[in-house]
Chains A and B, each alone.
Chain A
Amino acid sequence: MNKWSKISIILVIILISPVVLAQQRFPKPEFESEYTQPSPTIPEPRSISLEYFDIFVLLAVLTVAAWFILKSRSRKGLLWLSVFSLIYFGFYRKGCICPIGAIQNVALSFSDPGYTISLIVLAFFLIPLILTLFFGRTFCAAGCPLGAIQDLVIIKPLSMPSWLRKPLGIIPYIYLGLAVLYAVTKTDFIICRYDPFVGIFRMDAPFHMVILGISFLLMGMFIARPYCRFLCPYGVLLSWMSRFSKWHLSITPAECIQCKLCTTSCPFDVIEEPTKEKIEPGSRIYLRRFILYALFIPLWVVIGGYTVSRASVILARANQDVYLAELLIAHPELREDPDNIDIQIFLASGKSMETLVEEAQVIQKNFRTGSWILGGFLGLVIGVKLMNQVIFRRRNDYEPHRGDCFSCGRCMDYCPVK
Chain B
Amino acid sequence: MKKNKEYNRRDFIRSGMRLSLALSLGGIGGLALRKHTSEEWVWQIDPFLCNQCGRCATECVRNPSAVKCVHAFDLCGYCDLCGGYFIPDPIKLDTGAENQLCPTGAITRKFIEEPFFEYTIDEELCIGCAKCVKGCASFGNGSLHLQIRHDLCRNCNQCSIARVCPSKAIKRVPASEPYLIKGNFTRS
Instruction: Please tell me if the beta carbons of B29 and A122 are within 8 angstroms of each other in the complex.
Output: yes
A317 at the interface (CB under 8 A from B): no
- State the Cβ distance, A108 to closest chain B Cβ, in Å: 10
Instruction: Please tell me if the beta carbons of A43 and B154 are within 8 angstroms of each other in the complex.
Output: no
Instruction: Please tell me if the beta carbons of B61 and A43 are within 8 angstroms of each other in the complex.
Output: no
Instruction: Please tell me if the beta carbons of B175 and A109 are within 8 angstroms of each other in the complex.
Output: no
- With A40-B73, A94-B154 as contacts: A51 and B40 at CB distance below 8 Å: yes
- Binary interface encoding of chain A residues 29-44 relative to chain B, with 1 for a CB under 8 A from any of its CBs, else 0: 1011101011110111
- State the Cβ distance, B168 to closest chain A Cβ, in Å: 9
- With A202-B61, A345-B51, A345-B53 as contacts: A43 and B150 at CB distance below 8 Å: yes
A-B contact pairs, 26 of them (CB 8 A): A8-B139, A24-B141, A32-B113, A38-B73, A40-B71, A45-B155, A102-B157, A117-B32, A118-B38, A122-B36, A126-B29, A130-B25, A133-B22, A189-B157, A189-B158, A192-B158, A193-B160, A204-B62, A241-B21, A244-B15, A244-B18, A244-B21, A320-B163, A342-B166, A345-B51, A345-B167
A417 at the interface (CB under 8 A from B): no
B42-98 residues with Cβ-Cβ distance < 8 A to A are 42, 51, 53-55, 61-63, 70-79, 88-89
Instruction: Please tell me if the beta carbons of B157 and A192 are within 8 angstroms of each other in the complex.
Output: yes
**Total interface residues on A, using CB and 8 Å?**
73
- State the Cβ distance, B27 to closest chain A Cβ, in Å: 11
**Total interface residues on B, using CB and 8 Å?**
71
- With A117-B35, A394-B6 as contacts: A29 and B77 at CB distance below 8 Å: yes
The complex places the Cα of A117 from the Cα of B176 at a distance, in Å, of 15
The complex places the Cα of A202 from the Cα of B63 at a distance, in Å, of 11
The complex places the Cα of A119 from the Cα of B149 at a distance, in Å, of 24
Instruction: Please tell me if the beta carbons of A118 and B37 are within 8 angstroms of each other in the complex.
Output: yes
The complex places the Cα of A341 from the Cα of B130 at a distance, in Å, of 14
Instruction: Please tell me if the beta carbons of B51 and A120 are within 8 angstroms of each other in the complex.
Output: no
A1-29 residues with Cβ-Cβ distance < 8 A to B are 2-5, 7-8, 11-12, 15, 24-29
Instruction: Please tell me if the beta carbons of B138 and A188 are within 8 angstroms of each other in the complex.
Output: no
- State the Cβ distance, A251 to closest chain B Cβ, in Å: 18
List B residues at the A interface (Cβ < 8 Å): 6, 14-15, 17-18, 21-22, 25, 28-29, 31-33, 35-42, 51, 53-55, 61-63, 70-79, 88-89, 112-113, 116, 118, 120, 137-141, 149-158, 160, 163-164, 166-167, 172, 175-176, 178-179, 181
Instruction: Please tell me if the beta carbons of B178 and A96 are within 8 angstroms of each other in the complex.
Output: no
A40-99 residues with Cβ-Cβ distance < 8 A to B are 40, 42-46, 48, 51, 94, 96-97
* Nearest 9 interchain pairs by C-beta: A26-B77, A189-B158, A43-B151, A4-B88, A45-B150, A345-B166, A244-B17, A8-B138, A244-B18
A245 at the interface (CB under 8 A from B): yes
Instruction: Please tell me if the beta carbons of B42 and A45 are within 8 angstroms of each other in the complex.
Output: yes
Instruction: Please tell me if the beta carbons of A244 and B14 are within 8 angstroms of each other in the complex.
Output: yes
- State the Cβ distance, B134 to closest chain A Cβ, in Å: 9
Instruction: Please tell me if the beta carbons of A97 and B37 are within 8 angstroms of each other in the complex.
Output: no
Residue of B nearest to A321 (CB): B168
Chain B contacts for A48, CB-based, 8 A: 39-40, 175-176
Instruction: Please tell me if the beta carbons of A96 and B41 are within 8 angstroms of each other in the complex.
Output: no
The complex places the Cα of A104 from the Cα of B78 at a distance, in Å, of 46
Instruction: State which of A40, A115, A348 has its C-beta within 8 Å of the C-beta of B51.
Output: A348
- State the Cβ distance, A237 to closest chain B Cβ, in Å: 9
Chain A contacts for B89, CB-based, 8 A: 2-4
- State the Cβ distance, A286 to closest chain B Cβ, in Å: 14
The complex places the Cα of A351 from the Cα of B17 at a distance, in Å, of 52
- State the Cβ distance, B34 to closest chain A Cβ, in Å: 10
Residue of B nearest to A105 (CB): B157
The complex places the Cα of A187 from the Cα of B118 at a distance, in Å, of 42
Instruction: Please tell me if the beta carbons of A29 and B158 are within 8 angstroms of each other in the complex.
Output: no
Q: With A2-B88, A118-B39 given, can you name 15 additional A-B contacts, CB distance below 8 Å?
A: A24-B141, A26-B140, A31-B116, A32-B113, A35-B113, A40-B71, A43-B149, A45-B150, A48-B176, A97-B157, A122-B33, A126-B25, A129-B25, A204-B63, A348-B51
The complex places the Cα of A209 from the Cα of B138 at a distance, in Å, of 37
